[in-house]
């Protein structure tokens, strides 16, 4: 008879959704409480823990747990929290730089606002990991289909989907403070 830890790990590696559901149910709330202890509010804690479980599911094929699944999940949460804080610091610094040196001048009209948004989007794309950026650009700029991107890059369609999903999430997070401006600019275009 195998222990619960081994059952979780092997079940994840097999892609067993039932085992994933059990793992989620067993650890979701404790991981949320851990995030709350680290200073997050409830909504942010839940979002972070959900992101961790999504990453766990996506990486299940290459999962290498050298300790207990519990320790692995808590480490994933902590690493994600650290990365988010680093990203927030970089974003804050970038926003301060943008506001100090390149303010969005509403007098320059729609064209200026569109250019500013395009520049911000280009900045967001520039800081993506190389493969993610390549997948994003092949999809959005070149208009290639997932299968064409997979063939061109020598990766699976599922990997293309994962990279594009991560790229779009990155863009959403990077540009979230500018979405109201984007919305207004694109309303004026239509």
Q: Are residues 113 and 176 in the same domain?
A: yes
Q: Are residues 190 and 109 in the same domain?
A: yes
4 in a structural domain: yes
What is the spatial distance between Cα 86 and Cα 89, in angstroms, rounded to a whole number? 5
Q: Are residues 52 and 114 in the same domain?
A: no
Spatial neighbors of 37 by CB under 8 A, at least 6 apart, are: none
Q: Are residues 81 and 126 in the same domain?
A: no
The domain tally of the chain equals 2
48 in a structural domain: yes
The pLDDT of residue 137: 85
Q: Are residues 65 and 131 in the same domain?
A: no
92 in a structural domain: no
97 in a structural domain: no
120 exposure class (CB count in 10 Å sphere: 0-12, 13-18, 19+):
buried
Answer whether 0.85 is exceeded by the pTM: no
CATH number at residue 174: 1.10.10.10
Mean pLDDT in runs of 10 for the chain (190 residues)?
Answer: 81 90 94 93 92 90 87 93 82 65 50 71 83 85 85 87 86 73 51
94 in a structural domain: no
> Is-contact 33 43, C-beta < 8 A?
no
Can you say whether residue 67 is alpha, beta or left, with left for phi > 0 and alpha for psi between -120 and 50 degrees? beta
The pLDDT of residue 99: 60
77 in a structural domain: yes
Q: Structural domain of residue 42, as residue ranges? A: 1-87
Nearest to 118 by CA among 57, 186, 56: 186
Mind giving me the DSSP string for 16-72?
A: -HHHHHHHHHHHHHHHHHHHHHTT--HHHHHHHHHHHHHHHHHTGGG---SS-HHHH
Q: Are residues 118 and 74 in the same domain?
A: no
Domain boundary among 59, 87, 115: 87
* CA-angle at 16, arms to 159 and 19, nearest 5°: 125
The pLDDT of residue 110: 55
Q: Are residues 121 and 148 in the same domain?
A: yes
> Is-contact 142 154, C-beta < 8 A?
no
What is the spatial distance between Cα 45 and Cα 166, in angstroms, rounded to a whole number? 19
CATH number at residue 31: 1.10.1740.10
């Amino acid at each position: 008879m195998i222990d619960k830890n081994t059952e979780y790990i092997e079940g994840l590696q097999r892609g067993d959704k039932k085992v994933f559901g059990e793992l989620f149910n067993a650890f979701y709330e404790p991981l949320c409480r851990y995030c709350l202890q680290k200073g997050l509010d409830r909504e942010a804690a839940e979002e972070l823990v959900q992101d961790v479980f999504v990453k766990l599911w996506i990486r299940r094929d290459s999962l290498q747990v050298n300790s207990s699944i519990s320790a692995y999940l808590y480490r994933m949460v902590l690493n994600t929290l650290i990365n988010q804080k680093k990203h927030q610091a970089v974003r804050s610094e970038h926003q301060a730089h943008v506001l100090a040196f390149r303010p969005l001048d509403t007098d320059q009209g729609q064209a200026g606002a569109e250019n500013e948004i395009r520049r911000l989007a280009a900045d967001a794309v520039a800081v993506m990991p190389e493969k993610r950026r390549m997948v994003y650009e092949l999809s959005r700029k070149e208009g290639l289909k997932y299968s064409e991107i997979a063939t061109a890059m020598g990766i699976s369609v599922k990997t293309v989907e994962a990279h594009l999903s991560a790229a779009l999430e990155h863009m959403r997070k990077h540009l979230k403070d500018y979405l109201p401006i984007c919305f207004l600019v694109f309303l004026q275009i239509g």
